[in-house]
Structure 1
Amino acid sequence: MGELVGLVPHHQLHDPPRRRRDRHPAARTGWRPPIRHRRLNPKENLVRNDIGARLARLEKLVQTMLRSPKLVNASLEDGALDVYDENGSLRAVIGRQPDGTSGVTAVNGPRPPVPSPPQVEPVLGGVRITWNGGFASGEPAPLDLVRVQVHVRKSADEEPDVQWPTTTIEAASGASVTVAVNHYGPVWARLVAVNSSGTPSAPSAAVEAAARRAATDDLGNGVVQRENVAAGAITADLLHADAINGKIITGATVQTAADGPRVVLNNARLRAIGTNGSAIGMEPNDTYPYIYWSSVDGTNQAFINVSGSSTADANIGINSGTFTDPDDNGTYRWRTFFGHDFYAAERITAKGSKPVGGRLYLGKSSAHVQSGLGGGSISLTKGAASVSAASIRAAGVLRADNVSMGMATITPVANKPTSITLTGGNIKGTNFRAFVTPNTSVPGKTVVGVGVTGVSSSGLTIWVHRTNSTQTQVHWMIIGED
């Protein structure tokens, strides 16, 4: 049974503590209280001295303590009790929570089973989704189930995002929810179970459905009453259930919404305004009617306009929004213009539309590229081309059909001019010039001279005069001219 700690000695259980004589009042007076003796029963004296009886009483007391509730008078003082499973994983926190509240928080709960596939049916402008409260493969409902998420997706294989459910079903026994759909194409519904630990299940199988369009039966007779229509809101002699026939709406602004994304129509323009504030509009009443695209803040516009010098013209100009050149602080825009049998792409001033900078012009029989005022240009006309610039540089090999060049080898007769004739060329031009030079380190001494004769489109004759008969290489070039 082990050592019993804290037990009171037997004599202290029956005999009161004795007072010290020096503390009793009689100690000072000499008076002594009479001593009275009580005769003990022999059986009583035997019980007091029976160690076996004492041990039996103590054993009974210990068993009573062990059988009594351990937490009958216990409490948690500004703390919490953590509950772990057999693997040592935290499952719940009872008492004071990390955010200062008190209660029971489930942690690390097992993943819920997959909900059974939903039942989906079309309704007016949406779909109704029903969960029967069951789970796939007959799995029992988990005791920590808190809700079932409903996800409406655009395709059957699109995974649900548990952070953004379309709606939820809070009843553990199942329920129905209606989801609005802004189109009549197919949608797919899937369900995800979530437990009190926030752990989601795998998604259920996807079920396809589509929203139902409104039919005649959806609007019964007498639904719209006279008092529901503002005075003067409808001005027509005859109204049909499906249209207003033969009437013109004047002097009004028609818009699909008061603000936000909307279409606005009045007697001057038509605008479509997006969610971010940008707009697309038509201005048919301008001198040059145009369609425009505005920036998000509405301060800048790109546009396509129609122009011409006569009423039969329909020239098209495509204009970018304006921008500022940091070098001269000028304001410009880019314009592409389709005019009378010509095309131009150019940088123009925002005011006055004056070309400033690079420009491309295409005509019926010509083309012109200009880098800007004082810069270079390339002009192409029928049968001719010209390049004008302060400096012209070819990044690679420059080739032309009116230039031909090469190298010829001549074995001369010593001290006698010797020639070689080259033919087979097709050099462009009317008049031809030739240039030759020997490949030698003894010009004027051993190589006395070189020359040409018979220069033409097909070739030339090269002459070499040297004092010995050593083979001599001669570089040559023919250039054709107009």
Structure 2
Amino acid sequence: MSAELTRLAERVADLERRLSATTRTARLAYSSIEDGAIEVYDNDGTLRGSIGVQPDGTVGMVAVNAPPPPAPAPALVDSALAGLDVSWDGQWANDEDTTPLDLALVQVHMTALADEELSEETMVAALVPGGGRTGVATGTYEPMWIILVAVNTSGVAGPPSAPVQGQARRAASDDILNGAITDLQLAEAAVTEAALAAAAVGKTAIQDGAISTPHMVANSIQGDRIAVGTLDGDRITARSITGSQVIAQSLTANELAANSVTALQLAAGIVDATHIKAGSLTAGLLAADAINGKVITGSRLQTAATGRRVVVDPERAEVSIYSGIAEEMQPGGLHADVLDLGASKQAGVSLSAPSLGKGTAYLAMQSPNTTGGAGSIRLEPSDRITEPGYTYLLARQGNSTTQELIESYASAPSGGKITVQQQTSAGFTWRTGTTSATLRDGVLSVPNIAVGTARVTPVADKPTSFRVAKRLEGKEVRAFVTASTTVPGTVVEVAATDADNTGFTLWVTRTNATATNVWWLMIGSDA
């Protein structure tokens, strides 16, 4: 009996030693996360981050739902050549605020107005946390406003800083070093006579043989510049002396051989209307194709004097198209123009239909400007923008500062504006009003449909609730849920209640307290 008690005592002592060793060992020392993530929640139950495999397949620590960072102190803005020098000292508008540990960057926005709404199009640069400096090109010499916005690692933007105005400066002589511009930097004919100071070019600056006939202005060499006997027949090119070089009345028929002057010897423009006897030139004297393929300059052309006709006006650089009906209030036309944008110029062509007093159909095409600004095409069935039924279609090219888009508009009450923008090489965004839809890599995201996965640790054999927060569009919101489990039969029920535009309540009933992934789908509809 004593031997059995001894063995029992030894066994109890061994179990106590093992239990003590187990409680002193880290519980996750040899643990791992298998194809999932650990979610981090605050005291209010709000998801603040996850560690592990993310929904897009990447692995890491991702922060979400963080509070917005404070407003930065106003930017320091200095004028620069064709742009602005922007810096931030790393301070905040409120001296009591400190730099958040999850600060990702500080956006630099540039707007024409101090209270202009900020967007992706107004963002021109970004600064690192702690302060920094960057240069931005304004594309104009008009005053612009610089506004800073802090963004944290959750992608949440804080309030904007106070706007600071700045203005780009134009290039001055101090910006160009002496000797920086040589013959290689000058385009042909870039330096004209008006740009040269008097007597700036002397004989020593002109190489022998550098000046040939094409470089001489007409009448620049007079008789008093030619030494007697230096100009003989060998130095005169055939047909180089025309009527303008001969003194009036100095050549008569006596000096001309018979038939020596024919049409081939007459320079273009020598014989004009003042030299032709009235009525001597008739249609019979013109060859059938005398003006075919020829260029007519400076003349107004029209196909008829009245009625249905086309009129070409070279002075206004436009073509007018008349329908010929009595109700016509204004002819249609094709007009070319160049817009002076200050820092650049933009060429365009507009085409309009004849107007009968009820509006004019209009098509405008603008080529990219001289600094690379976006070109565009705009179509309007009517130019009366204040009347019901007004519509337009706009297609705009993208560039480094402007995003490409296709935009359509129909006036109220039943219309609105729809904008299609390319987000990446494989994605587009449609915007109408305050909502948008995105198609990216074959996946469509719309504001009235949302999907996700919620992880709930239930109380065994007792319905356990969890609020899924998700903003959704639609008058009627429905939620659908299903459990993801590798042990069928242990999940008794999953259900959804209280579905609205802010989310729904998820219920899980299970025979044990195993953490359960629940897939959910929310759909918003008009009814």
Which of the pair has more CA radius of gyration?
1
**TM-score, normalising length from structure 1?**
0.41
TM-score relative to the length of structure 2: 0.38
